[in-house]
Amino acid sequence: MPLLAYKEQRILSPQQLRKLSEHKYSCFSASLLDPLLQPWWNWLVAQTPLWLAPNLITIVGLILNIVTTLILICYSPNGVEPPPRWTCFLCALGLFVYQSLDSIDGKQARRTNTSSPLGELFDHGCDSISTIFVALSACISCQLGHYPNWLFFQCFCAIALFYCAHWQTYVSGTMRFGRIDVTEAQFSIIAIHLVSAILGPEIWLTKGTSVLSPSIPLTLVVLPALMIAQKSPDNIFTEHASVFILAFGMVAAKITNKLVIAHMTKAEMEYLDWSLLGPALLFLNQYFNCIVPEIWLLWFTLAWGTQDLLRYCAQVCLEICQHLRIDLFRIPYSAKVSSTSSVGSQINFGVDKNGSTSHRKSKSKLH
């Protein structure tokens, strides 16, 4: 009964349907990987039968992606238990197949002259579902269940970024893909699955002495910096190179200090840090067509990163000084003059095992 009632109630108004029929897909891509993968996609679509509907290609890829992820979830539902390596490889394969099929459905539509607004809606609708499974599979493969806050952030950040990408399209009318965007993210996750399949999921455990885990905070600085510089409509890096490098340099200095402390204290290195607030705002601002002047946010990133670094360093030094009962810039006792003179004489003349100065000893040898 509820289903029948739902069918009777129209979702799209006549005006919406009329506008939908007039819709034309607009896309701009500056992706680094897309040109390299075009030969593979062109070959693949050439092998596809002409009778195969583009939407069927899309749904097959989605189903494969969902099934491989569900297998992974069965073995590690909370992201804590290490899943078998073959499940990680299966996810890598499923995501590669999904990515390939998702890239040729539009080509198949143009090839068979069946392009329509429904195809675009169907494609993006499947992508919205796939985003959830791709993000979750990557987190399980990295065993982020040991760190629930990080697991929450990664999954919902992926969902939010996908939404923001379409929000930007809603505002501008054109879907834009930067140099490092969806394709690059998908292949990065494929690489994560392959690392887990080859080395085991335990390799991603985020201990301070782990070999690979410290690369993640650095990636969270360098990757956004690269994306922001490449996608900036105001050429923010070219026009303000010094400010840009100083701003991201302060963030990098903060995470480097945290790495040193993690090493010295044999502790875990946390990924998320308040110093990343500035880069995050710059990144999100570009998704919203730079509603705030980029230079304003760049100066904010520099100011915020600088104060955050100084505050962090000051607090750490204070805590260590209190623990070791030492002063940072001052010797906590007064050196006696006689002691200083004695030390100086020992430095100048040296003392032999018998207590006599080497200077006198050498003079006796001369006589």
d(CA 238, CA 234): 9
Q: Which DSSP state fits 247?
A: H
Residue type, 200: G
100 token code pair: 């390939």
- Name the one residue in this structure whose structure tokens are 């952030």: 153
CB 248 within 8 A of CB 194: no
Distances (CA, A) of 130 to 89, 122, 125, 346: 18, 12, 9, 75
d(CA 211, CA 195): 13
Q: Is position 240 annotated as part of the catalytic site?
A: no
d(CA 317, CA 311): 10
d(CA 255, CA 248): 11
Residue from 124, 146, 193, 359 carrying the catalytic annotation? 124
319 token code pair: 């805590």
Q: Is 15 exposed, middle or buried (0-12, 13-18, 19+ CB in 10 A)?
A: exposed
Beta-bridge partners for 28: 176
Residue 28 has φ and ψ, to the nearest 5°, of: -130, 130
Helix (H, G, I), strand (E, B) or coil at 334: coil
Residue 29 has φ and ψ, to the nearest 5°, of: -130, 130
CB 143 within 8 A of CB 82: yes
Using DSSP bridges, classify how beta strands 27-29 and 175-177 pair: parallel, antiparallel or unpaired: parallel
- What's the half-sphere exposure (Cβ side, CA atoms, 13 Å) at 21? 6
Which residue, 367, 336, 238, is CA-closest to 295?
238
Active site amino acids: 124
